[in-house]
Amino acid sequence: MTDDGEDDSTADTGGATSKPAPPGDWSSATQDLPFDPPPTDSEAPRYDDEDDNMPPSSRLIAIAASRTGTCALDEDGLAHCWGGATSPTTLRPRDVAFTAIARGRRHACGLKADGQVLCWGDNEDGQSTPPSDVTFTAITAGNDHTCGLDEDGKAHCWGSNLWGQSAPPENVAFTAISTGGWGICGIRKDDGKAQCWGSSYGSRSDPPEDVTFTAIAVGEGFAYGLDEDGRPHHWGNDNEEFHTPPEDVTFTTIAVGEAHTCGLDVDGKAHCWGREYCNQFDCGQLTAPTDVTFIAITAGFLEACAIRADNRTLMCWDIIEYILDI
């Protein structure tokens, strides 16, 4: 799942101070790419290998995080990636517009308007080589693999298959798909039930059979789904400190991080819950801002990031403070 500024102003964010993060917080390596970029002929996209590895300050439409970094799409559909993993943060297509973005451990993928998928970053296991003969409607990226849904809802996965993560079920159509770590889950089109494959650790554990889901999110060791009433249900790691969602909240969006979960309610307010974390300064739980509403949210390693509803810019927070609000 992640290690996920520019304004010196501060804002009232529920008792914490909004401030840009210093560059050292966002990247641990920006040189010596461990892979070869795609060819740069006239038909291939141009790649930017001189990115400053900082979050964008532009208006955003989509965001995705993993254990090692975060990617976002601006309102022109251009990809921006940052974080601690070298591969996807320092090499990204700079002249391709996407409608969706997915971030893996050391790679990232974007979905174009024509349904084609373009990936960049580490390709050791083939996770950055999507099938070219499939028209996709959704994509998701795990540690060393990538999956997507075609126009009929069939799942396609590529990359490492060490745990069966690139061998989706045959003859099953899905309405949604999510992966985290080495496990993948989807919502079946015929009955709304969740079905999982890949690693048997955590997220592949049997999901509840008596729940019809409308949204799904898979983390490193557990997964969450939202039922038709917007209530969260989890499966996988049963550690109670991971699973204390607020009661009487109707969610529309759910995101799972390393050992925490975040969601947006019907008003766009963010809620986070999960295990208490400690860093070199303090211990605490991930607490979302209380006076801001959002249109999208993602959960990384020890933090969460979301797109503000008022100005479509990025806001991130961790267990101690709001580390980014631009």
Task: Transcribe 10-45 into DSSP letters.
Answer: --EETTEE--PPPGGGT-S--SS-SSPPPP-STTSP
Residue 200 belongs to a domain: yes
Q: Identify the CATH number of the domain in which residue 78 sits.
A: 2.130.10.30
Residue 4 belongs to a domain: no
| Sheet with strand 183-188: strands edge to edge | 174-180, 183-188, 194-198
Over residues 217-235, the mean pLDDT reads 95
Residue 180 belongs to a domain: yes
Q: Is the pTM of this model over 0.85?
A: no
Residue 3 belongs to a domain: no
Residue 2 belongs to a domain: no
**Strand 100-103 relative to strand 107-111, pairing:** antiparallel
Domain count, the chain: 1
Residue 76 belongs to a domain: yes
Which of 303, 1, 307, 297 has its CA nearest to residue 141?
Answer: 1
Q: Is 278 exposed, middle or buried (0-12, 13-18, 19+ CB in 10 A)?
A: exposed
Average pLDDT, the chain: 81
Write out the residue range of the structural domain in which residue 287 sits: 12-325
Residue 5 belongs to a domain: no
Task: Give residue 65's pLDDT.
Answer: 94
Place of tokens 């540690």: 143
Report pLDDT digits (tens) over 256-312: 998 899 999 999 999 999 877 665 555 667 889 999 999 999 999 888 999 999 999
Can you tell me the distance from the alpha carbon of 285 to that of 279, in angstroms, rounded to the nearest whole number? Answer: 11
Residue 283 belongs to a domain: yes
